[in-house]
C-alpha cells in the first residue's frame, strides 16, 4: 500500500497494482512512515472498475484510459497524455540541440507513479538525480519536476534547482505550474494539488468525480508562483510522477524537507485527519494522474497498426 508520513495505514485500492517511486523501477518506496523510515512495496497505482467507499467517499472509478491532453513541449515533440492510461513506451535519449540533451526520457508506467514526501522521489532506477533533489535527473514520465520557486536562503539548496526554470515557465510540458485547493469535511483540513496546468485540470475532473465528500466544489485552478500564500515544499505529504505532482496539507510543517540532511525524521501528520478522505485523494491521484501514452494509437479500440495491416491485406486481395 501507499504510505504517507504519520498515517499507519492507507487503504489499498481494490484491484490496484504496485505503486512505484523511490529509486526502484519495480514498485519501490511509496513514502515514509511517521518515524521517517521508508515503507516498501507501495500499491494502488492502477485503475480497475471496482470502488471502495467510506463516509460517502468513493475512492476509485472505472479503469478506462481517457484522453486528457496533448503535451507539445516534450523534448521530442507533441505527445498525447491520458488519465488512467498505463504510460510506458520505449526509452529514448533526448537529442542534441534541445533542452536537456543527452538525458533519458520515457518508459515509466502507472505502477511507478508514487514517490514519497521527499522532493526528488518517484524516479525509477536509472533516472534519479545523483544527490538529493532533481538536479540532472532524466524524465521517465516526460514531465518536468516541480519548481518550488523562492530563492536560495530559504530551505535547503536542493529545493531551488533552477535548471527547470520558474513555476511560470511556459516551456514546461503541460504548461506553467498551477494549483487548486481541496477542503475535507469535518474535521476540516485543506489540501492543495500542485502540478503543470494540464495535469491540474485533469485531476480536478477525476477528484471531483471520485471523492464525493469534497467540501469546496467546484474545484478551481489558480496560478502558482511559489511565493507567500502558495503551498511550500515543507507542506508536501506526497509526490507523484517523478516529483512533477505534489499533494500538500495546509499547516503541515515537515522541517526535514528544509534540510540536506537525509537522516532527519519526518514530521507526523495530524492524527485528527480524516484518513478515508485522504486515502481517496491519494489513490485517485495515483490512479488517474495523466501519463504520456506509450502504446500504439488505437481507433475504435483496435491498435492502429492492426487496422492498417487489415486494410493492406484487403487491398492486396482485391487486386
pLDDT tens digits, one per residue of 81-120: 999 999 998 899 999 999 999 999 999 999 999 999 999 9
Distance (Å, rounded) from C-alpha 195 to C-alpha 224? 9
For residue 110, what are the contacts with CB-CB under 8 A and spacing of at least 6? Answer: 17, 45, 46, 47, 85, 86, 87, 287, 291
C-beta separation of 195 from 217 below 8 A: no
Q: What is the pLDDT of residue 318?
A: 62
Q: What is the pLDDT of residue 4?
A: 60
φ, ψ (nearest 5 deg) of residue 272: -80, -5
Q: Span 292-297, mean pLDDT?
A: 68
Residue indicated by cell numbers 514517490: 115
pLDDT band at 65 (very low <50, low <70, confident <90, very high): low
Q: What is the pLDDT of residue 182?
A: 99
Distance (Å, rounded) from C-alpha 193 to C-alpha 245? 7
pLDDT band at 69 (very low <50, low <70, confident <90, very high): low
pLDDT band at 42 (very low <50, low <70, confident <90, very high): very low
pTM: 0.76
Q: How high is the mean pLDDT of the chain? A: 77
3-state secondary structure string across the chain? CCCCCCCCCCCCCCCCCECCECCECCCCCCCECCCCCECCCCECCCCCCCCCEECCEECCCCCCCEEEEEEEEECCEEEEEEECCCECCCCEECCCCCCCCCCEECCCEHHHCECCCCCCCCCCCCCCCCCCCCCCCCECCCCCCCCCCCCCCCCCHHHHCCCCCCCCCCCCCCCCEEEEEEECCCCCCEEEEEEEHHHHHHHHHHHHHHCCCCCCCCCCCEECCCCCCCCCHHHEEEEECCCCEEEEECCCCCHHHHCCCCCCCCCCCCCCCCHHHHHHHHHHHHHHCCEECCCCCEECCEEHHHHHHHHHHHHHHHC
C-beta separation of 68 from 82 below 8 A: yes
pLDDT in tens, 145-168: 999 976 545 668 889 888 999 999
- The answer to whether residue 309 scores a pLDDT higher than 70 is no
φ, ψ (nearest 5 deg) of residue 67: -55, 135
Locate the domains of the chain by residue range: 53-318
- The answer to whether residue 214 scores a pLDDT higher than 90 is yes
Q: Which residues pair with 105 in a beta bridge?
A: 92, 139
pLDDT band at 239 (very low <50, low <70, confident <90, very high): very high
Burial of 238 (0-12, 13-18, 19+ CB in 10 A): buried
pLDDT band at 64 (very low <50, low <70, confident <90, very high): low
Q: What is the pLDDT of residue 28?
A: 34
Q: What is the pLDDT of residue 277?
A: 98
pLDDT band at 177 (very low <50, low <70, confident <90, very high): very high
C-beta separation of 173 from 144 below 8 A: yes
- The answer to whether residue 208 scores a pLDDT higher than 60 is yes
Amino acid at each position: 500500500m501507499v504510505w504517507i508520513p504519520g498515517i499507519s495505514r492507507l487503504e489499498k485500492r481494490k484491484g490496484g497494482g504496485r505503486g512505484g517511486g523511490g529509486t526502484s523501477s519495480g514498485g519501490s518506496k511509496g513514502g515514509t512512515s511517521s518515524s521517517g523510515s521508508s515503507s516498501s512495496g507501495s500499491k494502488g497505482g492502477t485503475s480497475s472498475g471496482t470502488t471502495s467507499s467510506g463516509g460517502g467517499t468513493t475512492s476509485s472509478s472505472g479503469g478506462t484510459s481517457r484522453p486528457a491532453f496533448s503535451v507539445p513541449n516534450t523534448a521530442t515533440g507533441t505527445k498525447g497524455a491520458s488519465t488512467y492510461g498505463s504510460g510506458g513506451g520505449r526509452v529514448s535519449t533526448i537529442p542534441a540541440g534541445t533542452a536537456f540533451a543527452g538525458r533519458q526520457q520515457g518508459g515509466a508506467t502507472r505502477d511507478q507513479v508514487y514517490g514519497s514526501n521527499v522532493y526528488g522521489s518517484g524516479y525509477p532506477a536509472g533516472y534519479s538525480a545523483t544527490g538529493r533533489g532533481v538536479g540532472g535527473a532524466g524524465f521517465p514520465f516526460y514531465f518536468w519536476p516541480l519548481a518550488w520557486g523562492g530563492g536560495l536562503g530559504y530551505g535547503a539548496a536542493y529545493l531551488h534547482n533552477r535548471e527547470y526554470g520558474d513555476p511560470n515557465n511556459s516551456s514546461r510540458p503541460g504548461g506553467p505550474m498551477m494549483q487548486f485547493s481541496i477542503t475535507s469535511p469535518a474535521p476540516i483540513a485543506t489540501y492543495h494539488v500542485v502540478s503543470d496546468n494540464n495535469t491540474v485540470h485533469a485531476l480536478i475532473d477525476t477528484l471531483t468525480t471520485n471523492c464525493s465528500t469534497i467540501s469546496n466544489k467546484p474545484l478551481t485552478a489558480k496560478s502558482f508562483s511559489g511565493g507567500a500564500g502558495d503551498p511550500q515544499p515543507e507542506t508536501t505529504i506526497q509526490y507523484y510522477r517523478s516529483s512533477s505532482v505534489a499533494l500538500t496539507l495546509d499547516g503541515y510543517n515537515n522541517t526535514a524537507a528544509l534540510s540536506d540532511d537525509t537522516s532527519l525524521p519526518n514530521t507526523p501528520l495530524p492524527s485528527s485527519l480524516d484518513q478515508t478522505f485522504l486515502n481517496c485523494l491519494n489513490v485517485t491521484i495515483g490512479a488517474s494522474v495523466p501519463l504520456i501514452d506509450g502504446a500504439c494509437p488505437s481507433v475504435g479500440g483496435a491498435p492502429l497498426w492492426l487496422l492498417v495491416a487489415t486494410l493492406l491485406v484487403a487491398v492486396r486481395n482485391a487486386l
